[in-house]
Each structure stands twice: as structure tokens, then as C-alpha cells.
Amino acid sequence: MKTLTASSSPTSAPDSALPKVNRLWIVIGTIIVQMGLGTIYTWSLFNQPLADKFGWELGSTAMTFSITSFALAFATLFSGKLQDKFGIRRLIAASGILLGVGLMLSSQVTSIGMLYVVAGLVVGYADGTAYMTSLSNLIKWFPKHKGLMSGVSVGAYGTGSLIFKYINGAMIESRGVSQAFLIWGIIVLTMVVLGSLLVREASMNASPVSASGVRAKDYTVKEMLKTKQAYLLFVVFFTACMSGLYLIGSVKDIGVRLAGLDVTTAANAVAMIAIFNTAGRLILGPLSDKVGRLRVVSGALLVTFAAVMVLSFATLTYPLFFASVAAIAFCFGGNITVFPAIVSDFFGLKNQGKNYGVIYQGFGLGALSASFIAALLGGFKPTFLVIGALCAISFLIAMLVKAPKSGTPVLAEAASETEAQIKEPQGKEAKGMRLNPQTKGI
């Protein structure tokens, strides 16, 4: 892996005289952070044990994860400003501490309201802050491989949920649900804080220059919201998130009611979702660098449409049910991996974290909307029909939408020199540090 070089002087200096910064450690640190953050997707393991211990309704305990998801998405609106103020390493470390403390406090709750506060609002906000900043930062370090790096980061998040499905399940069984919360919090706090020590901030002087010699415009959030593309991308992202999150939250019940499976067999779909969700993140992200991001999203939406139509109208057999579930989970994982890179393609890298934070609100709304639609329409099949209609609309948007036409022509010589100008943060974390643009390859 090639390294970036850093200088303590604002003037240029020979590369040989500069200390080296190895981006491999930044990748490793981000993976550790994201794996710790992804453990919150094991929440469904805690629902029944909490309901049994305290006598709460199962639906009430399950609502906690909806609150967590909404708080996670809401936090991304402010993560960019917090990063500007405190620096990425301090912010990720602080988020890890808050996340761990929120989980540890969950071991002491005695009321459902307190559970909503500490396991819902506190944990969700901390998770969302660290998720958005670490993801966006890694993409900036590799401007020529945004899809791959997004896949690495978001894939690590999914891998954390898959691994901790077994760790948290074993802890609940052996130590009880409250002690499991305590140990889980300690582990996650340690992972995120240690990972933050390896992360270095990469802030762009200017967006990379395209092969045609045009530097893309770096949109601020305000400028982005004046474009029609921002709202079209939001609709697509909302649809992708709603389809995946509704399945994740209801797959066991769907298997029992629509496919006629027994509870134990239907529960196997939970593990299948985790596996295929992670696979979609790892495969479709790198693929988008080669074939085009909107092509990948269009294909994923088309597959999702076909899968929900099967769930709505077909006579579900065991293989057909699991194939449909696997397809939706794979496409959901891929879509949320590719979208950070799409936002940077459309609106520039400099403010990518802030801009994607706005589009990412589709995740929180998607988590809530499907549940409300299901309650309103009274069942799985009507909800799948709504999701299918949205997939068809979003497929057309993804096929037709184009990046805003704005950019600055650059001389060919300048283009090669400014392709990925990246610098270390000024101020508290590394005063005077500046990284030279050597981001070719990985």
C-alpha cells in the first residue's frame, strides 16, 4: 500500500524528507471502529429476555431499536460540525465512550422509559456520530476507490453485527440480559476508542479532477439542497432503506405467517439476513467503482422489486422464501454502501460527511415509515406492494438522474497534481501538518 507523506511546514519539501503516514493503519482503525458500532444490530436478541425479566410487552421492547435507528440517523446531521470543532479522533473516541456508557447503563434500567433513553437515544446518537465521521473520512483518503472503501467500512459494520450475534447471544444465555449489556458496553467502548487512535483526518483542499480535466464543485449543504438531485437521491435512499429495514425487523414473523414455517425455521432467516446483508456491502461497493454506482443501485432496486412481488403474490415455499429474503438483504446492504460514494460524486468530497448526513435521514424515516404503513394497511402483503411501487419509481430515478453540471476546467498538468489533495487537520490534533497528494492506488 502506498503511503501519504506529511510535512510540518506549509511549504513543499522533498518526499524523502517527510515522515510517512501509512493509510493501511487508517483502514484498520476504521474497520475496528465500524465493527464495534455495528454490534447494535444484534438488538433483537435482547427483546424477549427483557420482556421476560420485566414483564414488558414484546412490542414495547422492540420499539427501542426503532428509536435507536432514528437517533442514529438524526445524529449524522450534526456529526460534520462536531468533527470540525473537535477533530475526528477526539469525536470518535468520545462517541465510543458515550456508546459504551449507554449500553452499560442499560444493564441498570428498571423502566421502559429509561431503556428508551439510554439504549435508544444515547446509544443511537453516539453510534450515528462515529459511523458517519469514520465512513466519510475513509472515503476521502481514497478518492479513486470510493466504492471499495465505502464497502470496507460499511462491510465492517455488518460484520460486527454478524460476529456479535453469537457473542451477545452466548452472554445472554450464560449471564443474563443485564450482565450481557454491561459486558457488551465494555467491549464496544474498548473497540471504538482503540480504533480511533489509528484514525487520521483527511480533509480535502479540493475535489479530485476527472479524466476530462474538470474539477467537480464542492457543494455546501445549503447549495446541495437547492438542486433537484438532492431530493431525487433522498427518495431512492429512503426506498432502499425502508425495504431492508422492514424485512430485518419482521422477517421471522413473515416466515411464519406468509410461508407457513415453524418459529425455529423462520428464525434462521435472521442469520441469513446478516450474512447476505454483509455480502452485499462487500461486493456491490467495489463493483460500483467498475461498472458505475447508479447502475448498481438500479440493479439492486430491480431485484428488490422482484423479491417483494414474490413475497406478495407467490405461493411461498421454504426455498422461495429464503431466496427472496436473501435477495432483499443483499441489495439493501449494497445500496447503503454505494450511496456515500454517490453523494460525493454528485456534490464533491470536501463536505461529503455533512451532505450525506442530510441524505442519510432517509434511513431514519425508512425505519419508521414501513412500520406505520404496515399498521395502517394491516399486513405484510399490502406493505410489500407499497415498497414495490416505491422500488419501481426509484429504479426510474436511478436510471435517469445525472450529477449537477458544474465544475472548473483545470490544465492537464494541474489535474495530475491536484487529483486528491488531502491534508491533516489544522488546530488541536495536528497543528501545521499537511499531507501531500499521493493517493494513487491502495
In terms of CATH architecture, what is 1-204+410-442? Up-down Bundle (1.20)
| Cα separation, 79 vs 74, whole angstroms | 9
Q: Is the pLDDT of residue 427 over 70?
A: no
**188: buried, middle or exposed (CB in 10 Å: 19+, 13-18, 0-12)?**
buried
List Cβ neighbours of 227 (8 Å cut-off, separation of 6 or more). 219, 347, 404
Q: Are 287 and 151 in contact (CB under 8 A)?
A: no
| Cα separation, 360 vs 339, whole angstroms | 9
- The confidence band for 203, taking pLDDT boundaries of 50, 70 and 90, is low
For range 174-202, the mean pLDDT: 95
The string of pLDDT tens digits covering residues 64-77 is 888 898 899 899 98
Residues in the chain, total? 442
Residue whose entry in the numeric block shows the C-alpha cell 424477549: 48
- The confidence band for 388, taking pLDDT boundaries of 50, 70 and 90, is very high
The string of pLDDT tens digits covering residues 222-261 is 999 999 999 999 999 999 999 888 887 777 778 888 888 8
Q: Where are the domains of the chain?
A: 1-204+410-442, 206-409
CB-hemisphere CA count at 13 Å for 370? 27
Q: What is the DSSP string of 352-397?
A: HHHHHHHHTHHHHHHHHHHHHHHHHHTSHHHHHHHHHHHHHHHHHH
Residue 178 has a pLDDT of 94
The letter for the amino acid at 106 is S
| Cα separation, 347 vs 217, whole angstroms | 7
The string of pLDDT tens digits covering residues 263-313 is 778 777 777 888 898 899 889 989 998 999 999 999 999 999 999 999 989
Q: Are 327 and 306 in contact (CB under 8 A)?
A: yes
Question: Which of 20-34, 143-157, 170-184, 244-258 shows the highest mean pLDDT?
Answer: 170-184
The letter for the amino acid at 405 is K
Residue 257 has a pLDDT of 83
Is it true that 1-204+410-442 and 206-409 share their CATH fold? yes
For range 356-369, the mean pLDDT: 87
Radius of gyration of the chain (CA): 22
Average confidence score pLDDT of the chain: 83
DSSP 3-state of 407: strand
> Cell triple for residue 112?
421502559
Main-chain dihedrals φ then ψ at residue 426, nearest 5 degrees: -85, 165
- The confidence band for 91, taking pLDDT boundaries of 50, 70 and 90, is very high
- Choose the CATH number for 206-409 among 1.10.40.30, 1.10.3720.10, 3.40.50.720, 1.20.1250.20: 1.20.1250.20
Q: Is the pLDDT of residue 373 over 70?
A: yes
| Cα separation, 140 vs 43, whole angstroms | 31
Residue 186 has a pLDDT of 97
| Cα separation, 35 vs 159, whole angstroms | 6
Q: Is the pLDDT of residue 418 over 50?
A: no
Q: What is the DSSP string of 19-48?
A: -EEEHHHHHHHHHHHHHHHHGGGGTHHHHH
For range 82-89, the mean pLDDT: 92
Q: Is the pLDDT of residue 329 over 70?
A: yes
Q: Is the pLDDT of residue 213 over 80?
A: no
The answer, as to whether pTM is greater than 0.85, is no
The string of pLDDT tens digits covering residues 133-167 is 999 899 889 888 888 898 899 889 988 988 998 89
